[in-house]
Structure 1
């Protein structure tokens, strides 16, 4: 099947559709787009200016600047317990989102299946389709804090299954896999000879003493894992478009070929700034300040949602919360449209994240505390007026 035919099989993001609608309205509080409301730390901006002054305005290597790949390798060893050779097992991307289609393109054959925990990030299934594979949703459940279980994976694995995606901390639910979860999933991957794509872009935003674990750090797992991460969420650098992967050398070699004929290379002066940022203690101080503020907001939104009659699991990570709205008698799309039109609060229907998201909505608390308070007031007022709770 030609790529043009595959493009016909994927639809525009439901999130973008909603916010195109919201863009034409006044006084809307957006709790939808997953973007930090913090500015990029000032010292990282200064590093970018320094890079421009030093002449980092030319093409770089297809796999990324050596100084950044080396800094990423140091970070992976220190923070994640992952040993990766910066020359052959680390690659820099134009945003972490590239990793999915480029990663799948290195090994996935036509018709092979990829297990994806649902609710899921909106890019996963389209990436599988565009790479020629078949996405298979594996539902996760509110009763288990939306954590993926091997029992559920076993119900969906077939002889055509080639790979598995995990995302911890999770977008859209905020769930975080435990060490035991990760170990059991690793055993499952080995038993069924699966590749694992581990999306860890929210790794630093965890709460209540929870720790995030990297599956590639487990014995024997690096050789079958593509670890995906980036700078957008960690350092509030969404517009800078910079991500990275760690993977076996044969995967990196093929992904580099893909990038060679796609974006050529990530922006050079941005790579310089990121390399400097990774080794600067001020960057990690800024991350901790963001984490603390997200935690404060999380507690507010979780408390208010439950008080207004929307049962909500308290998320352990990321900056999303996933309340159940099915008891209101509305579908998640109807609920989201009502909140946008009546409360002027933009939230995302859970079904935008897969079948297991139906009956829920996603709220991003990556916005100012005062705005969140106002949004909760508005939502509660509409729910009471419409007698939905």
Structure 2
């Protein structure tokens, strides 16, 4: 039996508590008029059922990706759905998958595919970078894939091109498929920058990227993402997708096309402030004496809060202070760390510091 998704379970536990610190993740914005108008125009229009997704949306995505819209792109109900379908399509029961950790909540998806996740720890002292030697040492005759999160959730680590190439070369040597969740590609603040996995396909053909349009364009309520993979792999993923969902709703795809192809200025205020909020959170944590590796991307940091407890005890200690944060075990990482979101108002980040030091809110 699968456990619930950790973030949703925590939200239920936190929901009834008074005086919460207003932390938040990715922005969800009102749609601009050009998107609303595009949806209004087609709301009463019947569409042909195209299970790979709207040709217009795939064409809009294909150019920047240097992808074949007919053979290499599949529209899905968000990145999580895309990754879940891809894993079930490409793995068989008993397969092992290498996963540098901490990482996103892939565990349930892997187990639904019948696969066994093999978590290979990364270390704060290395900036949470994956260790190719440790990954190679974990390979067995049952290993079939390497699963990445780039930029990483929860650490905010972004690998350099050289680091990513080392991982792709490792997969090529051992005949492994590489899958990468790249849902935070637009949330990079500094560091080496985001390097798309598909830019390394000349080194190894079996690369599968899953991305969230919902996160990257601030409309998570529409639930739109896509899978980008070479034709032979995408054919397998597409077949599994048809059994899973048949096709994504047409209206959300029209909205996504309008968002991708239309003016982008409405996004700048929301996205432009994340680096400043990240820096504020680092200042707040530093003042509270909390060790943390500087995240280069995302809307989260992964500090060491072991002085408050570990695992569920750490989460409860934070909730008692009005802070909703998942302990590291939810990310298959160290349970004395926790993911702190900084997508909310700056006053909330300052209040978080007060709660951690006992100078504000409730104890």
TM-score, normalised by the number of residues in structure 2:
0.93
Question: Aligned Cα RMSD in Å?
Answer: 2.2
CA change 1:260–1:331 in 2 (3 A) is: same
Match of 1:208 among 190, 199, 202: 190
**Residue equivalent to 2:222:** 240
- The answer (yes or no) to whether the contact 2:78–2:226 under 8 Å persists in 1 is yes
CA distances 1:128-151 after superposition (whole Å, capped 9, x unpaired): 111111111011110111111212
Single out whichever of 265-274 and 13-22 deviates more from structure 2: 13-22
Match of 1:50 among 26, 41, 46: 41
**Residue equivalent to 2:337:** 360
SS at match of 2:151: coil
**Residue equivalent to 2:55:** 66
**Residue equivalent to 2:351:** 374
CA drift at 1:171: 0.6
CA change 1:176–1:193 in 2 (3 A) is: same
CA distances 1:194-226 after superposition (whole Å, capped 9, x unpaired): 001011110111112642111221243562011
Which residues in structure 2 correspond to 1:1-389 (within 5 Å)?
Answer: 8=1, 10-31=2-23, 34-52=25-43, 55=45, 58=47, 60-77=49-66, 84-122=67-105, 124-208=106-190, 210-221=192-203, 223-280=205-262, 282-283=263-264, 285-326=265-306, 328=307, 330-341=309-320, 343-354=321-332, 356-381=333-358
Unaligned runs of 5+ in 1: 1-7, 78-83
Q: 2-side partners of 1:268 and 1:191: how far apart?
A: 41
Unaligned runs of 5+ in 2: none
CA drift at 1:235: 0.7
Q: 1-side partners of 2:129 and 2:21: how far apart?
A: 29
TM-score, normalised by the number of residues in structure 1:
0.87
CA distances 1:240-288 after superposition (whole Å, capped 9, x unpaired): 00000111212222222222222221120111121222222x22x3444
Q: 2-side partners of 1:228 and 1:384: how far apart?
A: 40
CA drift at 1:87: 0.7
Aligned residues: 363
- The answer (yes or no) to whether the contact 1:234–1:287 under 8 Å persists in 2 is no
Q: 2-side partners of 1:276 and 1:332: how far apart?
A: 43
